[in-house]
Every structure is written in C-alpha cells, then in structure tokens.
C-alpha cells in the first residue's frame, strides 16, 4: 500500500503517468532509496560496519554541519542519513541533442520544471533509451551520478555511491546538492547547476580554510578552468556552424573537424602548459558528439557571474542567496541579461 502511494506521488510530481515504464522506474528507484536510509549516527556507532566507512561518515557530518552553520544551507535531515545502494551510481543521466544542435532534449515536470536530461536508476534502461534515440539520428551521452537532490521533498541520504571519493569530494557533493534545496528555479538547468557549482567551489574553499588546510592546488584549478574553457569555446564554434545553411554531409564533416580541433587544442595545452599531465586524456579520447558537451555548458556557464554576485554581496551568504532568488524571479531573458552583465564585471 505504501509503495503504491509512493509511486502515485512520484507520478504526480514528475508529470503524470503517460510514460508508465519511465515513471514507474523513477518511483520504484526513489522508493527503494527511501527504504534503504538509516541515520548516519547509527552507522557510525555500529562496530560491525567497516571502520573506513564509519570514519568517512564522521568527516561527512563535519562537512554537513559546516554547510548549515557557515554556508547557511538548509538545516534538515538531508545527508544525516545513509543508504547502501549496492551500485556505483545512484542514477544515470541521459543527455540528447539533435545531430546539428546544442539545444538539449528537455523533459518537463510540474515541480522540477524542465531539465536537460532524463535520469534512470538502471544503466541498462538508460542505454536502451539511448539506442532508440541514436536510431532517430540523435547525439546521446550517458553519465553516472553519485548523488542528486529531491529539492527538499525528501531527506536525501549520503549514499554508498558517494563513498569512493575522498573526504573533500564528499563535502563538495553535500554543498552542491544542498544548494539545490536552497535555491531552485524551474525551467533553467544552466542557472541551477551553475549556482550549485559556485556554492560547491566557494564552499569547498572556505571548508579547507576552516580546517587549516592549504588552498587547493592552483595548478589543478587552472587546468580545470582551461579545460572547461576549451569545451565552451568548442560549443560556441559549433553553434555558429549549425546556424549556417550547409548540406547535411558538409555539416557533418565540419562538425567532426571541430571535434578534432578540440582534441588538437587540448593536446597542445596539455603538453605546453601542463607538463604532460594527462588527467583529461580519457575523457577527450572517447567518441565525441554534441551531447557530451551539454553538461559543461549547463554546470559551468554562469559560475563566473555567481562569483561576481557573491563578491558584490561582500561574501555574505545570506545576502548572496537573497540576490540569487531575486535573479531567479526575473523572466528568462532579463535573467540571462543580468547574468551576462555580472559576468562582464570580472570581479
């Protein structure tokens, strides 16, 4: 009975049950996750649990407390619970675009609004849907996700899928996902993800300072920023290309040439400025398409704008969140214009 109620609730939250198989797996996956939750304190106190897990969870709770007390993120039971899900990722997100477009295939739900991906609790289900989309000539990409936010509808747990990361990475995940509970704007994935990414990055910087740790390696941060810039520049060139009136075959060749240029630019940057550091080789050498570029445009597009806004507010988190909420209330066009203005300040 409770399971049926949960399934019904999820169908209502996610837009009705017109696609029964998809929404059923969402309801079933979320219900299983809810049932697996136990208080973190119980796991820490249980001597039968692995010592490594218990120690990791102790540090997670320090980060969780820091998130609410210092970053002014929601103070609730989210990430004070633990769930062993028995798989490396909690969901697999499927991104899809047309062959000659960087506009994502959006999926719209009453509460979450429109998002640029579809989530699957089964990797096989994600791959099956990806194959169907590929048959229709679409570009697709599947990415595993260690955590996600239900936007405060449920108390989200720390999951075993988050345990493979080090202590700092676990803290950043908590900061990122709680940020979605703090501010969320329907129908604007780039706004939401860029905001959460900024909170994650600035929160992690403050977390390191509070623990008396040295700042994160500037070389690593610079490499990350340079790599993302390469990808965003490629997106811009592709957008310009797709606006041209070319025949499909010519467009296809030009598209592949841009991806080869990306790989060439990456290798030159790696070898000339990174002393041969190959941390992004595995990603860059995989088959390339439009969908693989989508997360970078969504998760990083407005991070500099939010950084400028944070400085405008004197580094005060409460004032910053209020200013973000004001931006979120703007219609989409003025909101983007305001973000571009902030970005241009270069604070």
pLDDT, tens only, 159-168: 999 888 888 9
pLDDT at position 17 over 50: no
* CB 303 within 8 Å of CB 232: no
Q: What is the pLDDT of residues 226-253, one digit of tens each?
A: 999 999 999 999 999 999 999 999 999 9
Dist CA 318 CA 191 (whole Å)? 18
Dist CA 84 CA 89 (whole Å)? 11
Confidence (pLDDT) at 152: 86
Confidence (pLDDT) at 110: 61
* CB 323 within 8 Å of CB 309: yes
* CB 164 within 8 Å of CB 88: yes
Between 6 and 106, whose confidence is greater? Answer: 106
Confidence (pLDDT) at 34: 92
Residue 80 pLDDT class (50, 70, 90 cuts):
very high
pLDDT at position 341 over 60: yes
**Picking from 56-65, 214-223, 283-292, 315-324, which range would have the lowest pLDDT averaged per residue?**
214-223
* CB 183 within 8 Å of CB 72: no
pLDDT at position 6 over 80: no
Radius of gyration (Cα) for the chain, nearest Å? 21
pTM, entire model: 0.82
For residue 267, report the phi and psi dihedrals to the nearest 5 degrees.
-60, -40
Alpha carbon dihedral 169, 175, 181, 182, in 10-degree steps, equals -160
Residue 256 pLDDT class (50, 70, 90 cuts):
very high
For residue 152, report the phi and psi dihedrals to the nearest 5 degrees.
90, -5
Mean per-residue pLDDT for 270-291?
94
Length of the chain: 347
| Percentage of the chain exceeding pLDDT 90 | 73
């Amino acid at each position: 009975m409770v399971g049926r109620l949960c399934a019904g609730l999820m169908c209502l939250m996610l837009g009705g049950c017109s696609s029964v198989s998809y929404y059923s797996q969402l309801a079933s996956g979320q219900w299983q996750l809810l049932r697996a939750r136990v208080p973190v304190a119980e796991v820490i106190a249980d001597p039968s649990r692995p010592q490594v897990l218990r120690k990791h969870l102790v540090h997670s709770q320090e980060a969780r407390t820091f998130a609410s007390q210092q970053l002014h993120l929601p103070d609730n039971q989210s990430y004070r619970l633990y769930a062993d899900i028995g798989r490396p990722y909690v969901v697999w997100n499927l991104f899809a675009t047309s062959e000659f477009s960087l506009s994502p295939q959006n999926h719209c739900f009453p509460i979450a609004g429109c998002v640029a991906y579809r989530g699957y609790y089964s990797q096989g289900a994600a791959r099956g849907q990806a194959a169907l989309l590929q048959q229709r000539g679409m570009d697709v990409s599947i990415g595993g996700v260690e955590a996600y936010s239900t936007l405060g509808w449920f108390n989200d747990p720390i999951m075993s899928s988050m345990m493979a990361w080090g202590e700092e990475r676990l803290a950043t995940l908590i900061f990122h996902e709680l940020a979605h509970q703090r501010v969320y704007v329907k129908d604007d994935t780039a706004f939401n993800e860029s905001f959460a990414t900024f909170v994650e990055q600035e929160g992690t910087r403050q977390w390191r300072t509070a623990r008396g740790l040295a700042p994160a390696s500037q070389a690593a941060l610079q490499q990350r920023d340079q790599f993302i810039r390469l990808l965003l520049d490629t997106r811009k060139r592709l957008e310009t290309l797709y606006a041209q009136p070319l025949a499909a075959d010519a467009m296809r060749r030009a598209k592949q040439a841009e991806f080869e240029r990306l790989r060439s630019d990456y290798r030159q940057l790696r070898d000339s400025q990174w002393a041969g550091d190959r941390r992004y080789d595995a990603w860059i050498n995989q088959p390339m398409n439009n969908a693989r570029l989508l997360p970078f445009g969504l998760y990083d597009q407005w991070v500099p704008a939010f950084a400028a806004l944070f400085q405008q507010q004197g580094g005060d988190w409460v004032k910053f969140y209020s200013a973000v909420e004001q931006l979120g209330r703007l219609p989409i066009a003025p909101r983007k214009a305001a973000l571009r203005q902030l970005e241009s300040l270069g604070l």
